[in-house]
Amino acid sequence: QSVLTQPPSVSAAPGQKVTVSCSGGRSNIGSSFVSWYQQLPGTAPKLLISEDYKRFSGIPDRFSGSKSGTSATLGITGLQSGDEADYYCATWDNVLDALVFGGGTKLTVL
Amino acid sequence: QLQLQESGPGLVKPSETLSLTCTVSGDSISSSYWYWGWIRQPPGKGLEWITTINNSWKTYYNPALKSRVTISVDTSQNQFSLTLSPVIAADTAVYYCARQSSGLGSFHDYWGQGIMVTISS
Q: Which helix (H) or strand (E) holds B40?
A: strand B35-41
The pLDDT of residue B103 is above 80: no
B103: which chain A residues are within 8 Å (Cβ-Cβ)? 33
Do the Cβ atoms of A21 and A29 come closer than 8 Å?
no
> Is pLDDT larger for residue B42 or for residue B106?
B42
Whole-number pLDDT of residue A1 = 77
Do the Cβ atoms of B77 and B23 come closer than 8 Å?
yes
Q: Which residue of A has its CA nearest to B46?
A: A103
The answer to whether the CB atoms of A44 and B109 lie below 8 A apart is no
Q: pLDDT tens-digit profile of A18-32? A: 999 999 999 999 999
Q: List the single best residue of B36, B107, B111, B115 to mutate versus A (max A Cβ within 10 A).
A: B107
The pLDDT of residue A11 is above 90: yes
Whole-number pLDDT of residue B104 = 59
Mean pLDDT of B63-89: 96
B30: confidence class by pLDDT, cuts 50, 70, 90: confident
A35: which chain B residues are within 8 Å (Cβ-Cβ)? 105-108
Phi and psi at residue A81, to the nearest 5°? -60, -30
Whole-number pLDDT of residue B105 = 66
Q: Which residue of A has its CA nearest to B5?
A: A44
Q: pLDDT tens-digit profile of A29-70? A: 999 999 999 999 999 999 999 999 999 999 999 999 999 999
Give helix then strand counts, H and E, for chain B. 0, 11
What gap in Å lies between CA A70 and CA A72, rounded to an integer?
7
Chain-centroid distance of CA A67 in Å reads: 11
Mean pLDDT of B74-92: 96
What gap in Å lies between CA B33 and CA A60, rounded to an integer?
26
Whole-number pLDDT of residue B33 = 83
Do the Cβ atoms of A12 and A80 come closer than 8 Å?
no
A103: which chain B residues are within 8 Å (Cβ-Cβ)? 46
Rounded to a whole number of angstroms, the distance from the CA of A38 to the nearest CA of chain B is 12
Instruction: Average the pLDDT over each of A49-53, A87-91, B27-31, B36-40 and give the range with the smallest value.
Output: B27-31
Q: pLDDT tens-digit profile of B47-63? A: 999 999 998 899 999 99
* Burial class of residue A99, CB neighbours in 10 A (0-12, 13-18, 19+): buried
The answer to whether the CB atoms of B109 and A100 lie below 8 A apart is no
Q: What is the mean pLDDT of chain A?
A: 96
B70: confidence class by pLDDT, cuts 50, 70, 90: very high
Whole-number pLDDT of residue B102 = 85
What gap in Å lies between CA B120 and CA B1, rounded to an integer?
36
B109: confidence class by pLDDT, cuts 50, 70, 90: very high
Q: Which residues of A touch B (CB under 8 A)?
A: 2, 31-35, 37, 39, 43-47, 50-52, 56, 88, 90-92, 94, 96-104
